[in-house]
Amino acid sequence: MTSPGPASGNPPARHALVVGVGGRIGIGAAVARRFAAEGLHVHMAGRTQAKLDEVVADIRAAGGRASAIVNRLGGEEEIAALFAALPAEGALEAVVHNAAFKNVPRRFLTTPPQFIEDNWRISGIAGLLVGQAALRRMQPQGRGTLIVTGATASLRGRPAFAAFASAKAALRSWTLALAHEAEPLGLHVAHAVIDGVVAGDRVKETGFGLGKLWIFSKGENGALLPDQIAENYWQLHRQPRGAWTRELDLRPYKEKF
């Protein structure tokens, strides 16, 4: 875990946790930068220390506060350890669950059970456990926001993506059900459908340059920009209680729906 840094002084009163931070250009990193820009100390969880450290350095260079926690979301113990690593002092104002298993195609008839289990463990069950831990921490505060990143697959399946779609659909269902339980406690739960290709590191590094070509072929405003997604997440967080959004879908204007 990366320390808060010498300039942080006493633990800040406001915290946010972003689960699923990979490269510097991606939804997780963009959300972390956006929330840090508003004065929150952002704790980022991801699988790779070096990638997390790059985002921490970006946030600190801009005058924000950030910490890195390496966590693979392997089950209840790992997620409990993730929340135990957060400072006990101050309010946990927002948690963003952005983790997902690799969205790669597999023919249905040859999909091994382990591949399905891996999808459910990261895209589905981890989201459930993060949500439970977040609400336990936020409930005594009487306020807080949980935002869960979904995908086109949350709404419909496609050929060769049955495992990913089933996990994402389950994640959406429990998130919306959780909103009903959380709102009377003063806690805002929202599901965000990311309906389109994201112009981030993961896609750009796919297929020996094919990912970059794919984004280029979309043309101007044809792919979702991580910073624009992050802005929408921040606006979700700051919504007044009298007008909460439970589900938001984001797509480029060129995307079919």
Is residue 7 predicted with pLDDT exceeding 70? no
Render pLDDT for 53-89 as a digit per residue (tens, 0 to 9): 999 999 999 999 999 999 999 899 999 999 999 999 9
Is residue 215 predicted with pLDDT exceeding 90? no
| Ranges of each domain in the chain | 6-250
Q: What pLDDT is attached to residue 104? A: 82
- Distance, CA of 137 to CA of 210 (rounded, Å): 42
Q: What pLDDT is attached to residue 240? A: 98
Is residue 8 predicted with pLDDT exceeding 60? no
Contact criterion met (CB below 8 Å) for 94 and 237: yes
Q: What pLDDT is attached to residue 6? A: 42
DSSP state of 136: H
Other beta carbons less than 10 A from residue 135's beta carbon: 18
DSSP state of 122: I
Is residue 9 predicted with pLDDT exceeding 60? no
Pairing status of strand 14-19 against strand 145-151: unpaired
- Distance, CA of 156 to CA of 161 (rounded, Å): 10
Q: What pLDDT is attached to residue 5? A: 47
Cα–Cα separations (whole angstroms), residue 171 to 21, 114, 127, 140, 166: 18, 19, 7, 25, 9
How many H-runs (helices) and E-runs (strands) does the chain carry? 9, 7
- Distance, CA of 134 to CA of 141 (rounded, Å): 11
Render pLDDT for 87-123 as a digit per residue (tens, 0 to 9): 999 999 999 999 988 778 889 899 999 999 999 998 8
Token pair in block for residue 24? 């510097």
Q: What pLDDT is attached to residue 205? A: 61
- Distance, CA of 138 to CA of 86 (rounded, Å): 13
Percentage, residues of the chain above pLDDT 90: 74
Supply the CATH classification number for the domain 6-250: 3.40.50.720
Contact criterion met (CB below 8 Å) for 69 and 82: yes
Is residue 208 predicted with pLDDT exceeding 60? no
Q: What pLDDT is attached to residue 219? A: 77
Is residue 50 predicted with pLDDT exceeding 50? yes
Other beta carbons less than 10 A from residue 53's beta carbon: 14
Q: Classify 67 as helix, strand or coil.
A: strand
**Mean model confidence pLDDT for the chain:** 90
Render pLDDT for 142-196 as a digit per residue (tens, 0 to 9): 999 999 999 999 999 989 899 999 999 999 999 999 999 999 999 999 999 999 8
Percentage, residues of the chain above pLDDT 70: 88
Contact criterion met (CB below 8 Å) for 146 and 189: yes
CB-based burial, 184-195: b 16+ in 10 Å, e otherwise: eeebbbbbbbbb
- Distance, CA of 120 to CA of 153 (rounded, Å): 13
Cα–Cα separations (whole angstroms), residue 84 to 43, 89, 215: 12, 12, 39
Is residue 220 predicted with pLDDT exceeding 80? no
